[in-house]
Structure 1
Amino acid sequence: IFEIISLSRLPANLWKRPLRSIQSFRQIFCLQRLWRMALATIPYAASPLLTPHCRRKVHSVISCQIDIVKAKQAPESTPSPAKLRIKIAGAWDALMRWSQRKSSYVSTSRRSSEAWAGVRKVVVFGGGSFGTAMGSILALQKSELEVVLLLRDEQLSSDINVKHMNSKYLQGCSLPHNVRATTNVAEAISGAQYAVHAVPVQSSRAFLHGIKDVLPPTTPLLCVSKGLEVTTGSMMSELIPSALGRCQPVVFLSGPSFAKEVLEKQPTGLVAASTDLQLANTVQALLSSPAMRVNTTSDVVGIETCGALKNVLAIGAGIIQGLGLGQNALAAFIVQGCSEIRYLVEAQGGKASTINGLGGIGDICLTCYGSLSRNRSVGVRLGQGEQLQDILASSSQVAEGVATAAVVVLLARRFRVSLPVLTGIAQILEGNISCEEAVNEIMGLPQIQGEA
C-alpha cells in the first residue's frame, strides 16, 4: 500500500483514517481504491452496489494500476511509470469529479433535512400571487410547518382560511392545509424562523417601517419583490436596511417563475442571491425539490437590476406585439434591451455574466414572451391603443415595470449609461411620445460596425 501511495502521490495518512470518519463518497472511493490496488484479485468492480457509470470509472483507475505493475515488471515494452503516473492521475481526477457530483446529488435530501431542522413557522408578507405561491411551496416541503400569510384585506384573509384558496389572485389553485392568513402583524411574525417579503416595491418602505419593532433583527428575509423605488431609485437591497434602520439578513430570489406554475409544481429554476453565501445555500436547501431547482450567487446587484429592468423591457415587448410588428422586431428589441441591462449591471459593479443565467435571460425571456406576464399584457394593450390609466385601473395585480420605468432615466444619468430602448419605454409611459414614434427612434439609432 505504501508503494502504491508513493506511485499515485496520494496523502500518506489516507489509509490511516478510521472507518467511522467516512462521511462522503470521496473518502469511501479513496479507501476502496487503495484496497483494490493492494488486493488486485478482489472483483470489486463487479459489486452490485456500484452503478454502471461508477464501475466504468473504477475500471479506468484499476487498468492504470495494472499498467503500472506491468511497467515495473517489463519496462522495455510499456510506457515508463512516470507517464503512467500522469495517466492514473487523470483517471483518478475523473473519478473524483464524478464522485463529488454524485455526493452532491445524494446529499441534497440530507442538506434539506438539516436546513429544515428547527423551522416551525414561516411568515409571508403580502398575499399576492407570488407571495401565496412561495408560501405554498414552503408549506409542501414540511407538512408540520406553519405558514402564515400577512395581509391587509380582512375579506381575503377570511376567504383563504375558509376555502384554502386565494380567489383574488390565484383562482382555482388550492392551498396546502398548513397555510393560513391573518391581518394581525404580531401574531403573524411571532415565532417565525423565516419571512418571505412579497410586498410590492412601492409599498415596501412604509410596510417595513411599520413592522421593524416586531420583526426580530436576526430573522432572515426571502425577498421576491422586484423593482426600483420611484422616489429614491433604490433597489430592494438598499431599501430594506434603510426602512428597517438596520442590516437584516436577506436573500433575493429571482428567475423565470410564474406564480401559477410554481403553485402547480411545474419544473422551475430560481436564483438565490445574497452577500451571505451560507444563507443563500441554506435557502437553496429549503426550496429545492423535484420541481424546484435553486442556484446561488453573491451578485445581488446583478440579480436585482435584471429582475427590475426586465419588467420594463417586457412592457416594450408587449407594445411591439400589440402594434403587430412581428417576431423579427421583437427579437431585435429584446436583444438590444438585454445589452442595455448588462451595461447598467456593469456600471453598478455587478457581474456581466449574471445576465446569461436564470435571473437574467431566463427571467427576461419568460416575462417578454409569456402569456401570463402582467407587464407584457400592459404593453400589448398600450400597443393596441388603450390608455395607461384605463389599463392599470382594470387590473387587480401590480405591474412593477410601470413604476420602475420612471427610474430608468434617473439611473441612466446617474451611471452615465446610454439606454435608448429602456428610456424610450419610459417616455411612452409618461405620455411624451407615442408607441410608433418610439419605434421609429429606435430604428433610427446608429448601426454598429465591427461587432455582432
Structure 2
Amino acid sequence: MNPVTAVLGAGSFGTALAIQLARRGAPTVLWGRDPERLAAMQQARENVQYLPGCPFPAKLRAHADLDAAVAEADELLIATPSHVLRATLERIEPLLRDGQGLVAACKGLEPHSGLLVHEVIESIYGRSRPFAVLSGPTFAKEVGIGLPTAVTIAAHDQSFAEAFARRLHGDGFRAYWTEDLTGVEVGGAVKNVMAIGVGIADGMGLGANTRAALITRGLAEIMRLATAMGAKAETLMGLAGMGDLVLTCTDNQSRNRRMGLLLAQGKSVKEAIADIRQVVEGVKAAPEVLRLAQRYGVDMPITAAVCGVLEGRLSVVEAVRALATRPAKAEAAPERKVPGAG
C-alpha cells in the first residue's frame, strides 16, 4: 500500500507537487489555511486561483483541517513560502509522530537569521526525524499539466531521499537525490535574486548578450557563496544550480524575473508585488544573501546591485552602471600550486 503524503501549502507549487504525487498513485492530501478556498478546490477538483487548467487526480483530496492531514499522513511535504517555514514547523511539531518524515519544497532563506531551509528544520527538530529538501527547475504550471520536469532531493539520510524521489518519479517527472543540502538550497535561494537582476536588464532592453553575461556571472556568484559554505561545486552545475538559474532568469513564468521587468518599467517594489499577486522570494532573499556573502567574504556584485535597487539606494540605471564599470579582471582565479608538487 502506498504511503499517504500530506502537502502543506496550497499555492501553485504545492498544488503541482500534490498532483504529481497523486498522479503516481500516492494517496495525497492538500492542506491550506483557507477553508472556503479548499472546499471550492475539492468541489471543482482544481486549484482555480493558483493553478487553473490542472485537474486533480482521483487520489488527491483538499481540505483545511491541519490536525487531520498530519494524523492521516505517513510523511509531509511542506510547500509554504520560506518566510513562514518556521511557523509551519512549530505549528505541526506537537502533531507529529515518531518517524514521520518531512520534505521541504521551499526556496529561500529565513528572514533576519539567513538560515537555510535545513538549518531551520534542524533548529526545531534536530535530526530526530528524517527530512529532505526538494529543488530544481520547476514551474508549477508545467508540473501540474505533466510536462517533462526534473528535480533534486537532498537529505542527510540518502535512503529517505531516494524513497521520496521514487515516489515522485515517473510520467515524465525525473527525481534525483543527493546529500548536498547546502548546495541545493543555496542554488534554489540565490537564483531568485539573479532572476530579478536579469529581469531588470531585459526590461531596460539591454539585449541577449547582457542576459547571457548576467546568468553566467550570476552562476559564478552562486558557486562562490555555496562552496564557501561547504557545498560541492558540481551540485551548482546541476538541476538545483544552473538548471534552476537558467529557468528562472529566462521565462516570464518566473515571478522574480517579472519583478525585475516591472522595476525596469519604473514600478516600486510594492507596486510590482501588487501586480504579481504572489510571494516573490527573491525580494526577501536578497538582503539575506548579501549578508551571507559578507559573512563568508565572498564578492557578489550582482546581488549587491539588486539589493541596492530593492532598498531604493540605486535606480535601475545606477545599478547597471555600477556593474558595467567594474574593473577588468581574470574570469577565474589562477590555481594555486602546492609547493613541492610536480
TM-score (norm 1): 0.71
Aligned counterpart in structure 2 of residue 284 of structure 1, from 145, 165, 171 = 165
Could you say which residue in structure 2 is the equivalent of 1:341? 222
Could you say which residue in structure 1 is the equivalent of 2:338? none
Q: Would you say the 8 A contact 2:2–2:27 is kept in 1?
A: no
Alpha-carbon deviations, 1:65-123, whole Å to 9, x = none? xxxxxxxxxxxxxxxxxxxxxxxxxxxxxxxxxxxxxxxxxxxxxxxxxxxxx434210
Larger Rg computed on CA atoms: 1
Q: More relative contact order in 1 or in 2 (CA 8 Å, sep 6+)?
A: 2
Could you say which residue in structure 1 is the equivalent of 2:207? 326
Q: Would you say the 8 A contact 2:51–2:144 is kept in 1?
A: no
Aligned counterpart in structure 2 of residue 206 of structure 1, from 74, 87, 91 = 87
2:14 maps to 1:124: no
Q: Would you say the 8 A contact 1:150–1:183 is kept in 2?
A: yes
2:43 maps to 1:162: yes
2:79 maps to 1:218: no
* 1:425-444 matches, cutoff 5 A: 425-444=306-325
Query: Whole-Å Cα distance in 1 between the matches of residues 98 and 220 of structure 2?
Result: 38
Query: Whole-Å Cα distance in 2 between the matches of residues 450 and 308 of structure 1?
Result: 24
Could you say which residue in structure 2 is the equivalent of 1:302? 183
* 1:401-440 matches, cutoff 5 A: 401-440=282-321
TM-score (norm 2): 0.94
Query: Whole-Å Cα distance in 1 between the matches of residues 214 and 159 of structure 2?
Result: 38
Could you say which residue in structure 1 is the equivalent of 2:124? 243
Which amino acid is the alignment partner of residue 133 of structure 2?
A: F
State the Cα distance separating 1:287 from its structure 2 match.
1.3
Could you say which residue in structure 1 is the equivalent of 2:152? 271
Alpha-carbon deviations, 1:318-357, whole Å to 9, x = none? 1111111111111111111110110001100111111111
Query: Whole-Å Cα distance in 1 between the matches of residues 106 and 283 of structure 2?
Result: 14
Which amino acid is the alignment partner of residue 121 of structure 1?
A: V
State the Cα distance separating 1:394 from its structure 2 match.
2.9
**Identity percentage over the alignment?**
38
Query: Whole-Å Cα distance in 2 between the matches of residues 245 and 197 of structure 1?
Result: 17
Higher helix share: 1
Alpha-carbon deviations, 1:178-201, whole Å to 9, x = none? 212222111111131121110111
RMSD, aligned CA = 1.5
State the Cα distance separating 1:252 from its structure 2 match.
1.2
Change (3 A) 1:248 1:450: closer
Query: Whole-Å Cα distance in 1 between the matches of residues 76 and 153 of structure 2?
Result: 15
Structure 1: segments with no counterpart, 5+ residues? 1-117
- Three-state SS of the structure 1 residue aligned to 2:94 is coil
Aligned counterpart in structure 1 of residue 53 of structure 2, from 172, 189, 203 = 172
Number of residue pairs matched by the alignment: 333
Which amino acid is the alignment partner of residue 122 of structure 1?
A: T
State the Cα distance separating 1:202 from its structure 2 match.
0.5
Q: Would you say the 8 A contact 2:67–2:95 is kept in 1?
A: yes
2:134 maps to 1:253: yes
Alpha-carbon deviations, 1:344-393, whole Å to 9, x = none? 01100111111111111111000000121111111111111111101112
- Three-state SS of the structure 2 residue aligned to 1:211 is helix
- Three-state SS of the structure 2 residue aligned to 1:256 is coil
- Three-state SS of the structure 2 residue aligned to 1:432 is coil
Could you say which residue in structure 1 is the equivalent of 2:337? none
Could you say which residue in structure 2 is the equivalent of 1:42? none
More displaced, 237-246 or 331-340? 237-246
2:235 maps to 1:354: yes
Q: Would you say the 8 A contact 1:148–1:181 is kept in 2?
A: yes
